[in-house]
Structure 1
Amino acid sequence: MNTAVKERPDRLVLDQTAIDAAASKDLDEGAVTPSYGPWRDDIVKLLNDALATELVCVLRYKRHYFTANGEASPAIADEFLVHANEESAHADKIAERIVQLGGEPDFSPKTLLDRSHAEYDESMDLQAMVRANLVAERIAVETYRQMIALIGDKDPTTRRMLEEILTDEEEHADELRDWLGH
Structure 2
Amino acid sequence: MHIAKKSEMNKQSIRLAASNINDGAVTAGYKADREDVIKMLNDALATELVCMLRYLRHYYTASGLHNRPVKAEFLQHALDEQDHAHELAERIVQLNGKPDFNPETLLLRSHAEYNESANIHEMIKSNLVAERIAIETYRQMIENLEDTDPTTKNMLIGIMTTEEEHADDMRDLLS
> Normalising by structure 1, what TM-score?
0.88
Q: Which runs of 5+ in 1 are unaligned?
A: 1-12
| Displacement after TM superposition at 1:37 (Å) | 4.5
Aligned AA (1:118)? A
Identity of aligned residues (%): 56
Q: Which residue of 1 aligns with 2:44?
A: 50
Structure 2 distance, partners of 1:18, 1:126, is 61
The 3-state SS of whatever aligns with 2:96 is: coil
Q: Which residue of 1 aligns with 2:95?
A: 101
Q: Within 2, Cα distance between the matches of 1:107 and 1:78?
A: 26
Distance, in Å, in 1 between the alignment partners of 2:61 and 2:148 is 43
In structure 1, which of residues 64, 68, 71 is the aligned counterpart of residue 58 of structure 2? Answer: 64
Length-normalised TM-score, structure 2: 0.91
Pairing 1:83–2:77 present: yes
1:25 paired residue number: 19
Residue 154 of structure 1: SS of its match in structure 2? coil
Structure of greater relative contact order (alpha carbons < 8 Å, 6+ residues apart): 2
Change (3 A) 1:18 1:135: farther
Does structure 1 residue 174 correspond to structure 2 residue 174?
A: no
Whole-Å separation in 2 of the counterparts to 1:18 and 1:127 = 61
Offset at 1:73? 1.3
Q: Gaps (5+ residues) in structure 2?
A: 1-5
Deviation sequence 1:23-46 (CA, Å, 0-9, x none): 123210011012224610000000
CA distance in 2, matches of 1:22, 1:165: 33
CA distance in 1, matches of 2:163, 2:11: 42
Shift of 1:21: 4.3
In structure 2, the partner of 1:10 is none
Tell me the equivalent position of 1:4.
none
Moved more, 170-179 or 15-24: 15-24
**Aligned partners of 1:78, 1:38: CA distance in 2, in Å?**
39
* Alignment partner, residue 149 of structure 1: 143
Give the aligned partner of residue 29 of structure 2. Answer: 35
More strand by share: 1
State the secondary structure of the residue aligned to 2:105. Answer: helix
| Superposed CA RMSD | 1.7
**Offset at 1:152?**
1.7
1:56-109 alpha-carbon deviations (Å, 9 max, x no partner): 000000000001124531110111000000000000000000000000000000
Is the Cα contact below 8 Å between 1:70 and 1:126 reproduced in 2? no
Runs of 4+ residues deviating >4 angstroms:
none
Distance 2:32 2:128 in 1: 35
Q: Is the 8 A contact 2:32 2:145 kept in 1?
A: no
